[in-house]
Structure 1
Amino acid sequence: MPGTDDRCGFVPDGSEVADKGVTCCWRPVWADREHCIWHASIGEKSWELLEPHASSLGDRLDGAKLRGASLSRTDLFAGCTLIGADFTGATCIETDFSGADLRWTEFNDCNLTGANYAHATLEDTTFVRADLRDADFRRARLYRTVFADAHVNSQTAFDKELVYETRMRNATDAGTKTELGEAAAWTYRRLDRLLRQNAVAKRRHRFYTRAHDVRRRLAWVNDNYLKALKLEGSRWVMRYGVSPWRVLAVSGLLVLVSAFLYPLTGGIQETAGQTTLTYTIEEPTSPVLWHVSRTYVKSLYFSVVTYATLGYGDIQPVGLWARFLAGLETILGSLLIAILVFVLTRSVE
C-alpha cells in the first residue's frame, strides 16, 4: 500500500514469513525524510533518537534500518516484531530483545555482548562476525539461524533442551514430531559447531549428543528400525563417540559376563606340563565354595586374555558353547578396543 505525503508507506519484503504476511508502515514521516525514523536511510541512529518513536507491544517494525546504530542497554525491542530488520554494524551491548520476532534479521558485524534474546524468534537470522559473549539465548527459536565467525564464551547461555525438542516430546502427531525433531537436530548441530569453533568443548559435547538423541527418537518415530538400532548401540557403547568411560564400562561388563558363563558352558582347561585341569561347574548350586572361587578366578583370567586377544594358549575353552563364547568375546573385544582408540583420538582432537 503506497504512502501519502505525511506517512512512511514503507513495505518490507515479508513474503518469506507466511504467518505474518506483508505490512505497510503507516507511521508519520520523520523530519524531511521520505520515511519514518525506523525506515529512513540516515547515518547512525541512537536509542535516545528512537525512544520517542518506540513501538507499542504487538506493533510491527519489519525492515527497520538500524545499520551502525548505538542501541546499548535499551529495552525498545523487547516483544517487538522486527522481521527483516538490518542491525549491521550496530552496537547492542546488553540490549533487551527478549520475546522479539527477529526472523530474517541481520546482526552482522554487531557488538551484542550481554544481549538478551530469551524467548525470541531468530529463525533465518544471521550473526556474521557478531560478538555474542555473555548473550542469553534461552528458549529462543534458532532453526536455520546462521552463526558465521561469531564469538561466544562459556557464559553465552543456551538451553540444555531446545524448545523444538520440548515441543517434539509433547507432540502426538508423527508428522509434527518429525518436523520439530529435524529442527531440533539441525539446531543442536549448529550450536555444536559454534561452540567447537570457539573452543567451548565441555558444553558442545552436550549439543552433539542431544542431536544424536533426537535423530535416534526420530528413527523410531519413522519406523527406521535399522538406523534406530545403530544409534541405540552407539548411545550405549560410547555415548555417540564422546565417552571413553562408557566404552571401558561395556568392556568390563563383557569380560565379567563371559567369565561367569565359561564354567557354565563346558568350562575351561588348563595345561601345565603333563597335568591337565578342567574348571567347570556342572551343578552351580552345590559345589564347594573354594572350588567355585578357584574356577571363577581362572575363568576371569581366561576372559581377560581372550578379550585382549593375547592368546597365551595356557588355558583353552572346552566344548562347543564355550569355544563359541570365546570366539564371540574375541571379536567383540577387538571391536571395543578399536572403538576406544577412536573415541580417545576424537576427544584429543
Structure 2
Amino acid sequence: MPEERCGYTNEASTLPDVGGVCCWRPVWDGTDRCVWHADVSQKPADALAAATGRRFDGAVFRGVSLNDVEWFSERTFVDARFVDCNLRNADFTGTDLRGSRFRETDAQWATFCDANLETAEFDRSDLRFASLRRSRLHHVVFANARVNEETSFGDRVVYEAELAAVDDADDRSKRFEAARWTYRELQRVAEKNGLSRSMRRYYHREKEMHRRLLWESRAYLKAIAEEGWRWTTAYGSSPYRVIATSLAVVVLCAVLYPLTGGIQETAGGVAITYEVENPGTTPGGFLSLVFFKSLYFSTITFATLGYGDIQPIGEWARVVAGVEALLGHVLLALLMFVLTRTIVWSN
C-alpha cells in the first residue's frame, strides 16, 4: 500500500454479505489515515461531506458536530465509531451501521429508519425523539441509552413484519427469535427509562412472538398453555382478564350445578333440593330461583368459604364443586400476582 493512501482494511469474513474493503483514499493532515479513518478529534465537517463513495467501514468520528447532515443516508458505516458527537437531526435512513459504536453521543431527533443496526452499541447516548422505525436491531446494545415516549421504534419490529413474506421454516424461526430478542431489549430499555407503557407493549409483543413460534414449532402442549396464559391474564399483565375469567367460572358452575344433581339447602331442619331435569319444561320463576341459589353456592365455593348450609347433591355436582374450588384457589392467587405486577410496573 502506498504511503500516501489510507490502507484501512475491513475483512470480508465478519460480514460476507457486504464483502471486504480496503480504503484507497489519500491520507489526511499529516496522519497515516484518511479523514474518515484518522482517530483524531474535531474533524472538519465540510471535508467529510465532500467525500465520495458508499463504503466507509471503520470510520472514526470523535467530538464532531454533524447535526442536520444527510450524507450518512444509504451508505455503509460498518464498525464505525461515534464518540462524543453531535448527531442531532442527522439522517441515517437506510444506512448500514452494523457493529458501530455510539458513545456519549447526542442523537436526539436523528433518523435511523430502515437502517441496519445489528450488533451496534449505544453507550450513554441520547436517543430521545429519534426515529428507529423498521431498523434492524437484533443484538443491538443500549447501555444506559436515553429514550423517551417520543423515541419511535414502530408498532412492530422489522423481523416480525418480514414474517408475512417468508415461507421457509428455518428463516421464519430465525426471524421469530430475532423479533423476541429485540422486543426483550426494547422492554429493558423502556424499563430503565421509566416508560411503563412502552415496557408493557414490548412485553406483550415478545410474548406474542413466543406464542406464535410455539404453534409453528408444533410444541402444541406449550402453545395451549401459552394461549391459556394469554386469554386469562394477558400474559400476566391484566387483572381484568383474571376477574373476567373468575366470573365466567362462577357463572358456568352455577349453570352446571342444577343440571348435574343439584344442590340442597337445609333451613329450619327442612332440606330443600334445587335441581333442574328439563330446563325446557321448568317454570321460569323456579328456574330463576334455582339459578340464584346455585349462583350463591358457586360464589362461596369459588371463594373457598365452605359449603355452609348448602351442599352439592350427586356425584357429578360434587366433581364440579371440587374443580371450582381448585380453580378458585388458583385464580385468586393469580389475581394477587397480576395485581402486584401491575402496581410494580406502574411505579
Return 44-53 or 185-194, whichever deviates more. Answer: 44-53
Give the secondary-structure state (helix, strand or coil) at the position aligned to 2:113: coil
The residue number in structure 2 matching 1:197 is 192
Match of 1:10 in 2: 8
Question: Does the aligned pair in 1 maintain the 2:297–2:307 contact within 8 Å?
Answer: no
Deviations 1:232-286 (A, max 9, x none): 1111111111111111111111111111111111111111121111111111111
Secondary structure of 1:66 counterpart: strand
SS in 1 for 2:83: coil
Distance (whole Å) between structure 1 residues aligned to residue 44 and residue 320 of structure 2:
75
Cα pair 2:301 2:307 within 8 Å, conserved: no
SS in 2 for 1:240: coil
Alignment match, 1:50: 48
Identity %: 44
Deviation at 1:117, TM superposition (A): 0.6
Q: Which amino acid aligns with 2:331?
A: L
SS at match of 1:284: coil
**What does 1:14-33 align with in structure 2 at a 5 Å threshold?**
14-33=12-31
Q: CA RMSD in A?
A: 1.4
The 3-state SS of whatever aligns with 1:34 is coil
Please tell me whether residue 115 in structure 1 is matched to residue 113 in structure 2: no
How far residue 170 of structure 1 moved from its aligned partner, in angstroms, is 3.2
Checking the alignment, whether the CA contact within 8 Å between 1:122 and 1:140 is kept in structure 2 is yes
Structure 1 stretch displaced more, 5-14 or 187-196: 5-14
Mapping of residues 120-135 of structure 1, within 5 Å: 120-135=115-130
Give the alignment partner of residue 158 of structure 2, picking from 135, 143, 163.
Answer: 163
* Residue matched to 1:329: 324
Give the deviation of 1:46 after TM superposition: 4.3
Distance 1:269 1:45 in 2: 89
Of 80, 83, 105, 1:85 maps to 80
Equivalent residue in structure 2 for 1:67, among 62, 65, 79:
62
| Counterpart pick for 1:211 among 198, 206, 210 | 206
| Residue matched to 1:288 | 283
Counterpart amino acid of residue 272 in structure 1? A
Displacement of 1:31:
4.0
Residues 20, 116 of structure 1: CA spacing in aligned structure 2 closer, same or farther, 3 A cutoff? Answer: same
Whether 2:215 is the aligned partner of 1:220: answer yes
Unpaired segments of 5 or more residues in structure 2?
none
Amino acid at match of 1:264: L
Partner-residue secondary structure (3-state), 2:264: strand
Contact 1:169 1:177 in 2 (8 A): no
Using the TM superposition, name which of 216-225 and 101-110 deviates more: 216-225
Q: Note the alpha carbon deviations across 1:191-236, whole angstroms, 9 max, x for none.
A: 0010011110011111111111111111122222232122111111
TM-score with structure 2 length normalisation?
A: 0.96
Equivalent position amino acid for 2:150 in 1 = Q
1:165 Cα deviation (Å)? 1.0
Please report the TM-score for the alignment, with normalisation by the length of structure 1. Answer: 0.95
Contact map agreement 1:71 1:91 (CA 8 A) in 2: yes
| SS of equivalent residue, structure 1 residue 322 | helix
Structure 2: how far apart are the matches of 1:204 and 1:7? 49
Q: Is the Cα contact below 8 Å between 1:108 and 1:129 reproduced in 2?
A: yes
Partner of 2:274: 279
